[in-house]
Chain A
Amino acid sequence: MLKLDTISSSIGSKKLLNQISVSFFPGKINLIIGPNGSGKSTLIKAMSKQIPYDGNIFYEEVNLQNISLRHLSKFRAVLSQHTEIAFPLKVWEVVMMGRYPHFTTSPGKQDEQAVREAMHYFEINLLADRDYSTLSGGEKQRVNFARVLAQIWFSTPGRCRYLFLDEPLTFLDVNFQYQFMAKLQLFEQKNDLVIVGVVHDLNLASKFGDSILLLNEGKVASFGKPEEVLTEENIERSFKIKPSIFQHEGAVIISF
């Protein structure tokens, strides 16, 4: 479980996050939505110890302040919007980077196993020897998804694994977006995996999110099940645009 207790963060005089208190549970897809500048990415950064914050963040019982970045990287992985690599590296070399926190000089059997399985899961086996920089946007993101999952591939008894997604679907087409979310859904059944993701597309959030955090101006505007959060009032108040909301096969559909 990931517990955020009155998290605030500011740059200069601007408050980016204001007293955010929520808990994210394993076995669920937790999605964060909100207008631009509402603090979604900032929250992910605070949760990863990338920026200073006030308040407390607990990974299970342990305060994040007491976890070193090095140790954190063994059980928490972050998928970013897009990743450019400065030098020509092969796909498997990129995926292997996910295992870096787990070995000192050269990868062990377990590391190779994780890389193989992650690449298999994202169907990039055939790309293994391709140069990363020659891939298409969708392929690159699949490689990165495999990389961050390889990072937390094996579960450790008595400890959760954490997967943060920082708008990873922004540059992808609809087909890829749904493929990604479907892959993610298969993963959420692991009951030791805490998934927290930022998405832009409200319909994607409604279809795949088990619980949704709506942020507005750095504050929690609403938090709960999709049908509780994605209401006309909530959306209009945060996004300043009036939606029409439909129900279709049990899912909420938002149209503007």
Chain B
Amino acid sequence: MLLNRNYTTVWIVLSIALGVVFFFSLRWGAIIISSEEIFSSVSNYFSSDALTLNERIFLNIRLPRAITCLLVGACLAMAGVLMQALFRNPIVEPGLVGTSSGAAFGASLYFVLGATFQFNAGVWTLPLAASIGGALATVVVFLFSHRKGGTQSIISLLLTGIAVNALCLSGVGLMSYLARDPQARSITFWNLGTLSGANWNSVLVIGASTLICFLVSLRLVKSLNALAMGEEEALYLGVNMNRLKVSVLTVTVVLVAVATAFVGVISFIGLIVPHLLRLIKGSDNRYLLIGSVLLGALLLSLADLAARLLLAPAELPIGIVTSAIGVPVFILLLRRNRHYF
């Protein structure tokens, strides 16, 4: 009787796959960058030699974009794991419970009205605006679908999610209606999700928040596992439910809102990744959390590659690619989890 699970194989396979995909996402795109150029750009950057055009494209556009993509994938997948554990339901994800659209609304509000209100907090302004919007939307959905005794009715959860999503998206619509042309265009891009705006700044901000959220979440996994048995049992095991709920919601909102602030609304990563991980090996939240960082980064990088290559040299919004994969998986999950309804 082995009272431990060996996840090493999973970690190794996922890491190798991630490395390969990352390498290709550095090379392929509107311009194909050779491996030599990748290495030479790095060495030339440090030796302060003049950079060629391709080397500059690699350093200033391709590399930050690829890293942003990894980080955003990890963010959204982690948020999916945390939310599913909190709501005790495998078909929940940040896009369904309003976090993403709330964040999009908050951010578009800042885009259009930020100058008017002179609201400014440096590089953190946009993430902050998005976080506030995402937090409000999530809390509203959580409270309205909450039943006495701490169970979440999945139907009222999804319905409230639909309502709040619709409200936020019409808010975004209103903002783009009010906006001047360049603002409106950036709002539109955002709703579809795009990584084309990624730069070193976004790497820094998303990277910092992802790391902090990951470390905080690692401390919550045990409580979240206990919560799988319901709130009462979790209390018997000494879990402070209110603190847990507040922590998980805060972490999720920060994860999703910061990602959304830079790359727009990308749905279904938070749904697909935990599901795949459960299929691979178990439902322990520690495994899911660490695995979601790897698999989330991997899947979003693949989606980004597809987005860049399918219509090259033009580019598909990445949100469309993830939705195209995610919707069938979601419907499949709904059918398999009929007993929830």
Q: List, in ascending order, chain A residues with CB within 8 A of B237's CB.
A: 73, 97-98, 100-101, 151
Q: Of B225, B232, B238, which one neighbours A71 at CB under 8 angstroms?
A: B238
Q: List, in ascending order, chain A residues with CB within 8 A of B88's CB.
A: 86-87
Q: List, in ascending order, chain A residues with CB within 8 A of B284's CB.
A: 89, 93
- Judge if A69 is at the interface, Cβ distance under 8 Å: yes
Q: Which of B274-299 contact A (CB under 8 A)?
A: 278, 282-284
Q: List, in ascending order, chain B residues with CB within 8 A of A96's CB.
A: 3
- Pair A89/B228 contact, Cβ less than 8 Å: yes
A244 CB to closest chain B CB, in angstroms?
Answer: 38
Q: A69-B238, A151-B237 are in contact. Are A86 and B232 (CB under 8 A)?
A: no
Which stretch of A15-23, A75-83, A212-220, A232-240 is in the interface?
Answer: A75-83
- Judge if A200 is at the interface, Cβ distance under 8 Å: no
Q: Of B228, B238, B278, which one neighbours A74 at CB under 8 angstroms?
A: B238
Q: How far is the CA of A46 from the CA of B226 in the complex (A)?
A: 21
Which stretch of A57-65, A112-120, A178-186 is in the interface?
Answer: A112-120
- Judge if A172 is at the interface, Cβ distance under 8 Å: no
Q: How many residues of B contact A (CB 8 A)?
A: 23
Q: Of A74, A80, A88, A119, which one neighbours B232 at CB under 8 angstroms?
A: A80
Q: A101-B237, A107-B3, A116-B1 are in contact. Are A84 and B232 (CB under 8 A)?
A: no
- Judge if A90 is at the interface, Cβ distance under 8 Å: yes
Q: How far is the CA of A73 from the CA of B1 in the complex (A)?
A: 26
- Judge if B204 is at the interface, Cβ distance under 8 Å: no
Q: List, in ascending order, chain B residues with CB within 8 A of A151's CB.
A: 237
- Pair A86/B228 contact, Cβ less than 8 Å: yes
Q: How far is the CA of A90 from the CA of B236 in the complex (A)?
A: 20
Chain B contact residues, majority secondary structure: loop
Q: List, in ascending order, chain A residues with CB within 8 A of B240's CB.
A: 69-70
- Pair A100/B89 contact, Cβ less than 8 Å: no
Q: A77-B236, A89-B282 are in contact. Are A125 and B226 (CB under 8 A)?
A: no
- Judge if B12 is at the interface, Cβ distance under 8 Å: no
- Pair A128/B235 contact, Cβ less than 8 Å: no
Q: How far is the CA of A72 from the CA of B232 in the complex (A)?
A: 14
- Judge if B185 is at the interface, Cβ distance under 8 Å: no
Interface code B206-245, partner A: CB below 8 Å = 1, 0 otherwise? Answer: 0000000000000000100110111011011111100000
B215 CB to closest chain A CB, in angstroms?
Answer: 12
- Pair A97/B3 contact, Cβ less than 8 Å: no
Q: Of A70, A85, A92, which one neighbours B1 at CB under 8 angstroms?
A: A92
- Pair A73/B228 contact, Cβ less than 8 Å: no
- Pair A119/B1 contact, Cβ less than 8 Å: yes
Q: A77-B236, A80-B233, A97-B226 are in contact. Are A87 and B1 (CB under 8 A)?
A: no
- Judge if A50 is at the interface, Cβ distance under 8 Å: yes
Of A84, A87, A93, A125, most B-chain CB atoms within 10 Å:
A87
In the complex, residue of chain B having the shortest beta-carbon distance to the beta carbon of A83 = B229
Q: A92-B3, A100-B222, A112-B3 are in contact. Are A85 and B238 (CB under 8 A)?
A: no
In the complex, residue of chain A having the shortest beta-carbon distance to the beta carbon of B285 = A87
In the complex, residue of chain A having the shortest beta-carbon distance to the beta carbon of B284 = A93
In the complex, residue of chain B having the shortest beta-carbon distance to the beta carbon of A103 = B222
- Pair A70/B238 contact, Cβ less than 8 Å: yes
B221 CB to closest chain A CB, in angstroms?
Answer: 9
Q: A88-B283, A97-B226, A125-B1 are in contact. Are A83 and B233 (CB under 8 A)?
A: yes
Q: Which of B1-21 contact A (CB under 8 A)?
A: 1, 3
Q: How far is the CA of A94 from the CA of B240 in the complex (A)?
A: 19
A223 CB to closest chain B CB, in angstroms?
Answer: 25
In the complex, residue of chain B having the shortest beta-carbon distance to the beta carbon of A68 = B238
- Pair B238/A87 contact, Cβ less than 8 Å: no
A134 CB to closest chain B CB, in angstroms?
Answer: 13
Q: Which 10 A-B pairs have the closest CB atoms?
A: A73-B238, A87-B283, A86-B88, A70-B238, A78-B236, A101-B238, A86-B228, A128-B1, A112-B3, A85-B228
Query: 18 A-B Cβ contacts within 8 A?
Result: A48-B235, A50-B232, A68-B238, A69-B240, A84-B229, A85-B228, A86-B89, A86-B228, A87-B90, A88-B278, A88-B283, A89-B228, A90-B282, A96-B3, A100-B237, A119-B1, A125-B1, A151-B237
Given contacts A70-B238, A72-B238, A80-B236, 17 further A-B contacts (CB under 8 A): A68-B238, A69-B238, A74-B238, A78-B236, A80-B233, A84-B229, A84-B230, A86-B90, A87-B278, A89-B225, A90-B282, A97-B225, A97-B237, A101-B237, A112-B3, A116-B1, A151-B237
